[in-house]
Amino acid sequence: MMAIPIAIVGVGKIARDQHLPTLAASNRWRLAGVVSRHADDLDVSAHPTLTALKAAVPELAAVSICTPPIGRTDVIREALELGLDVMVEKPPAATISEAERFASLARDAGRSLFLTWHSREASGVAPLSAWLNGRTINRVAIEWMEDVRVWHPGQEWIWEPGIGVFDPGINALSILTRLLGPVSMTGATLRFPANKASPIAASLAMEGGAGELVSAEFSFDQRGPQTWTMTLDTDGGQATLLDGGGRLEINGSPVDVPEGTEYGRLYDRFAELVGKGEIDADLAPFRLVTDAFLIGRREQVDAFSWSD
């Protein structure tokens, strides 16, 4: 199998934590260069634009977009015009209409597009999905509580309108919609720091297509232990996903989960999509976020400081 030459656009936290190590360990992909304003410490060359990178590396075939979610249209259009297949970090865009445009641009260009949801590839999710088969889910309780100061140090874009605590919260919603299928937002309270344009916490109520009742508590201000947990009460017992989906317990007992990493599975899936010339652009988690903003009641809380 020939490794596919791929570029990364935006060498920030997630590119360094996950994408670069995953590509280095993959035999399906070969990192051919990056588009970056700062990254001059890598084994591959950094270029100011994708067009410049493609000129220097004509065999470049794909790109993985790791910039913040606001302002991706130009680089995705440029990638498709250069004939590249495109993978995109979550959340896909600033708005639903912008994300829908990515899919139509990819269709028109005849290229593959993968709008990714890395948490769906967490090790416990597929085994949980299999266990749920044939069982009736009654209730789902989500607690996604992390400290923005730890996970997004100094990233001002995280407080742009429409992001805030939904940057991690959308990961829970991606798992939820993978497990339940269609879900609708029935109530939301969004807590905005006095000095920020997006919420630092949210309480959500949702309902699955089969009447499952879902509650979610999201916080970006969680000191001490961090919690990314989803508990599902079913007619056949209780399942709990822990550590963002990395661990699974059934009725309190740990369950074996597959080896491998979220990003390893993401890039395998992208290789499959490229091989088949397909598009995977599921916006279900993103729609729940926009619905939360649509119906959410707003509360003001204390101003946020990175140094508190």
Distance between terminal CA atoms of the chain? Answer: 51
Which residue in this structure is represented by tokens 């913040």?
68
Residue 198 interacting with ligand NAP (CB under 6 A): no
Residue 69 interacting with ligand NAP (CB under 6 A): yes
Single residue of 4, 32, 54, 68 touching ligand NAP by CB under 6 A: 68
Active site annotation includes 90: yes
Residues 6+ apart with CB under 8 A from 124: 241, 242, 245, 246, 247, 248, 255, 257
Residue 162 interacting with ligand NAP (CB under 6 A): no
Residue number with the smallest Cβ distance to ligand NAP: 12
Residue 89 interacting with ligand NAP (CB under 6 A): yes
Residue 102 gets the label, from left (phi > 0), alpha (psi -120 to 50) or beta, of: alpha
Residue 66 interacting with ligand NAP (CB under 6 A): yes
Residue 41 interacting with ligand NAP (CB under 6 A): no
The CB-of-89 to ligand NAP minimum distance in angstroms stands at 4
Of 63-71, 199-207, 245-253, 291-299: span binding ligand NAP (CB under 6 A): 63-71
Spot the catalytic one: 13, 54, 90, 276: 90
Interacting positions 90-149 with ligand NAP (CB under 6 A): 90, 118
Nearer to ligand NAP by Cβ, of 4 and 115: the residue is 115
Sheet holding 46-47, edge to edge: 46-47, 29-35, 4-9, 62-65, 85-88, 113-115, 279-280
Two structure tokens written together for 97? 């209409």
Angstrom distance (rounded) from CA 249 to CA 33: 41
Q: For the chain, where are the alpha helices, taking DSSP H only?
A: 13-14, 20-25, 50-56, 73-81, 96-109, 125-132, 148-151, 166-180, 262-276, 284-295
Q: How many residues bind ligand NAP (CB under 6 A)?
A: 22
Residue 285 interacting with ligand NAP (CB under 6 A): no
3-state secondary structure of 251: coil
Residue 165 interacting with ligand NAP (CB under 6 A): no
Q: What is the DSSP letter of 18?
A: I
Name the nearest CA neighbour of 216 among 250, 176, 248, 178.
176
Residue 37 interacting with ligand NAP (CB under 6 A): yes
Angstrom distance (rounded) from CA 71 to CA 157: 11
Angstrom distance (rounded) from CA 214 to CA 207: 6
Nearer to ligand NAP by Cβ, of 14 and 213: the residue is 14
Nearer to ligand NAP by Cβ, of 11 and 204: the residue is 11
Residue 14 interacting with ligand NAP (CB under 6 A): yes
Residue 36 interacting with ligand NAP (CB under 6 A): yes
Residue 223 interacting with ligand NAP (CB under 6 A): no
Single residue of 6, 7, 11, 206 touching ligand NAP by CB under 6 A: 11
Residue 67 interacting with ligand NAP (CB under 6 A): yes
The neighbouring-strand residues paired with 31 are 6
Single residue of 49, 51, 73, 155 touching ligand NAP by CB under 6 A: 155
Binding residues for ligand NAP, rule: CB under 6 A, are 10-15, 36-39, 66-69, 89-90, 118, 151-152, 155, 157, 167
Positions marked active-site? 90
